[in-house]
């Protein structure tokens, strides 16, 4: 069991930490100085009936402000969200977009009500975040995310010393949980499957030497096959083989868009999502934690229309999917009761729990109806 199932289930929402202006390098994408709120404010409808623009009921808050985060943590916990999964970046030999976590969450006086863990979002940084250029799709890579072993050890030391030892860090069997997003970039940087397994072994040993009982390494599932050679591409592995060979301890998804056709009604895709959970549970040797996405429409990031939109993702549909995830957890009592949710605040992908001017607090109320509030005694 996990160590934080304080109300029976761990409902973990991903956090996109770009809604702040305190990261200097972020101005290259959002020059106005308040992060991707610049993109949200500029969003317009792309066709008749398009449900944009949407606006946050809480306003364009600086989420690196601890007072703002105290309000958000209270709302999360009061509605049943008891874990935040922060997207965490490492570009050009240094962290990127850490301020939301460091200055917002970690300095919030009530952060004990919501645990946190990190997902290393180790995908290359391209033009996607810059609305002025996102539509060009010219293959321009601003920062590459793959890291060699020496750099991996640098970032791992930062993770262990700064975050994994924090009392609010989310653990399973006492071990800090750390998710890796892009497995191919991981393999490419560390020299294939052998180098990756060696790096993971070092990572776990380093955690033990820091006084931790080890690590719980979690894979973000979205690719089916990988080049694990690290050299010539002649050695391939399935996702299930990679989990076993690299030594991952569990896996979950980040978004429906990674595994199903999202250009349709939410109710139409729901059965395929549940079927995917069942497939993952059968085919992998480690626990799969069910994932619920609120929606998908990344048109706010583009000047031109982007096909692929989940429609009718109403609070009632989300509640039904959350109940299905809860039922999956109940059918797997031998694994921690963890459910991942996309997301807390992915406004530019139209997949967020935060209240808006369309449904109000409807999405958060859907979570509360299924899971209940996090007890105040945990604060």
Confidence category of residue 376, pLDDT binned at 50, 70, 90: confident
Share the mean pLDDT of the chain: 95
What's the distance, CA 146 to chain centroid?
18
Q: How many domains does the chain have?
A: 1
Give CA–CA dist 245/350, Å, rounded.
35
Task: Strands of 52-114 (E only): list them.
Answer: 83-91, 94-96
For residues 259-278, give the mean pLDDT: 97
This model's pTM is above 0.85: yes
Question: Do β-strands 125-126 and 141-143 pair in parallel, antiparallel, or remain unpaired?
Answer: antiparallel
pLDDT of residue 138: 74
> Per-residue confidence at 379, pLDDT binned at 50, 70, 90?
very low
Q: Is residue 51 part of a domain?
A: yes
| Among candidate residues 294, 273, 275, 310, the one with its CA nearest the CA of residue 347 | 294
Q: Is the pLDDT of residue 1 over 60?
A: no
Q: Give yes or no for a contact between 328 and 9, defined as CB atoms under 8 angstroms apart.
A: no
Q: List beta partners, residue 217.
A: 178
Measuring CA to CA, how many Å separate 80 from each of 56, 173, 268, 276, 332?
20, 22, 26, 25, 20
Give the DSSP H or E segment for 320.
helix 315-330
Whether the pLDDT of residue 313 is over 50: the answer is: yes
Asked, for residue 207, whether it belongs to a domain, the answer is yes
Does the residue 332 lie in any domain? yes
Domain range for 68 is 10-378
What percentage of the chain carries pLDDT values higher than 70? 97
Q: What is the CATH number of the domain that holds 279?
A: 3.20.20.80
Tell me the pLDDT band of 215, cut-offs 50, 70 and 90: very high
Neighbours of 32 (CB within 10 A): 12
Quick check: is 4 in a domain? no
Instruction: Work out the average pLDDT over 193-203.
Output: 98
Hey, how many other C-beta atoms are within 10 angstroms of the C-beta on 233? 10
DSSP 176-244: EEEEES-HHHHHHHHTHHHHHHHHHHHHHHHHHHTT-S--EEEEEP--SEEE-SSSSS--EEEHHHHHH
In the chain, the largest separation of any two C-alpha atoms, in whole Å, equals 59
3 part of a folded domain: no
Mean pLDDT of 299-316: 97
Task: Name the residue among 247, 324, 229 with its Cα closest to residue 285.
Answer: 247
CB-based contact 351:342 (threshold 8 Å):
yes
Q: Write the pLDDT tens digit of every residue in 39-98.
A: 999 999 999 999 999 999 999 999 999 999 999 999 999 999 999 999 999 999 999 999
- In this model, does residue 366 exceed pLDDT 80? yes
Q: How far apart are CA 107 and CA 261, in angstroms?
A: 40
Tell me the average pLDDT across 155-175.
98
Tell me the mean pLDDT in the region 231-256.
91
Asked if 342 contacts 73 with a C-beta cutoff of 8 angstroms, the reply is no
Phi, then psi, of 361 in degrees rounded to 5: -90, 20
Residue 283 domain flag: yes
Close Cβ partners of 205 (under 8 Å, ≥ 6 residues apart): none
Does residue 2 lie within any of the structural domains? no
Can you tell me the mean pLDDT for 152-170?
A: 98
**Is 367 within the bounds of a domain?**
yes
Residue 233 has pLDDT above 80, yes or no: no
**Helices and strands (H and E) in the chain: how many:** 10, 14
Q: What are 100-145's pLDDT values in tens digits?
A: 999 999 999 999 999 999 999 999 999 999 999 998 877 789 999 9
pLDDT in tens, 271-297: 999 999 999 999 999 999 999 999 999
* Run of H or E residues at 172: strand 171-172
pLDDT band at 14 (very low <50, low <70, confident <90, very high): very high
Q: β-strands 250-252, 225-227: how paired?
A: unpaired
At 193 the pLDDT is 96
The Cα–Cα gap between 24 and 253 comes to: 30
Reading phi first (left if > 0) and then psi (alpha if -120 to 50, else beta), residue 221 is in: beta
pLDDT of residue 235: 87
């Amino acid at each position: 069991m996990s160590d934080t199932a304080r109300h029976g289930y761990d409902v973990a929402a991903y956090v996109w930490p770009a809604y702040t202006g305190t990261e200097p390098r972020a101005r290259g994408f959002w020059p106005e100085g308040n992060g991707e709120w610049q993109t949200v404010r500029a969003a317009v409808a792309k066709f008749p009936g398009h449900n944009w623009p949407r606006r946050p009921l809480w306003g364009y808050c600086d989420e690196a402000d601890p007072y703002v985060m105290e309000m958000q943590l209270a709302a999360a916990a009061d509605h049943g969200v008891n874990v935040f999964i922060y997207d965490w970046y490492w570009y050009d030999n240094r962290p990127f977009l850490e301020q939301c976590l460091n200055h917002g969450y970690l300095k919030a006086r009530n952060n004990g009500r919501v645990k946190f863990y990190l997902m290393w979002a180790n995908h290359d940084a391209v033009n996607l975040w810059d609305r002025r250029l996102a539509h060009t799709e010219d293959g321009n890579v601003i920062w590459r995310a793959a890291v060699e072993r020496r750099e991996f050890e640098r970032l791992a030391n930062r993770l262990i010393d700064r975050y994994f030892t924090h009392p609010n860090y989310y653990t399973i069997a006492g071990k800090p949980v750390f998710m890796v997003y892009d497995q191919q970039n991981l393999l490419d940087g560390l020299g294939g499957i052998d180098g990756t397994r060696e790096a993971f072994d070092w990572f776990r040993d380093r955690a033990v030497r820091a006084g931790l009982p080890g690590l719980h390494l979690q894979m973000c599932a979205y690719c089916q096959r990988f080049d694990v050679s690290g050299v010539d591409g002649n050695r391939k592995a399935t996702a299930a083989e990679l989990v076993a060979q690299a030594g991952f301890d569990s896996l979950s998804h980040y978004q429906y868009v990674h595994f199903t056709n999202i250009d349709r009604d939410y109710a139409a895709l729901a059965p395929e999502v549940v079927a995917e959970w069942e497939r993952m549970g059968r085919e992998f040797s480690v626990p799969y934690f069910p994932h619920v996405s609120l929606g998908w429409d990344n048109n706010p990031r583009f000047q031109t229309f982007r096909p692929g939109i989940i429609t009718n993702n109403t609070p009632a549909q989300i509640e039904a999917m959350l109940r299905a995830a809860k039922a999956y957890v109940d059918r797997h009592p031998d694994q921690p009761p963890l459910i991942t949710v996309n997301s807390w605040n992915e406004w530019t992908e139209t997949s967020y729990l935060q209240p808006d001017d369309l449904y109000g607090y409807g999405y958060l109320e859907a979570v509360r109806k299924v899971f209940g509030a996090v007890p105040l005694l945990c604060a």
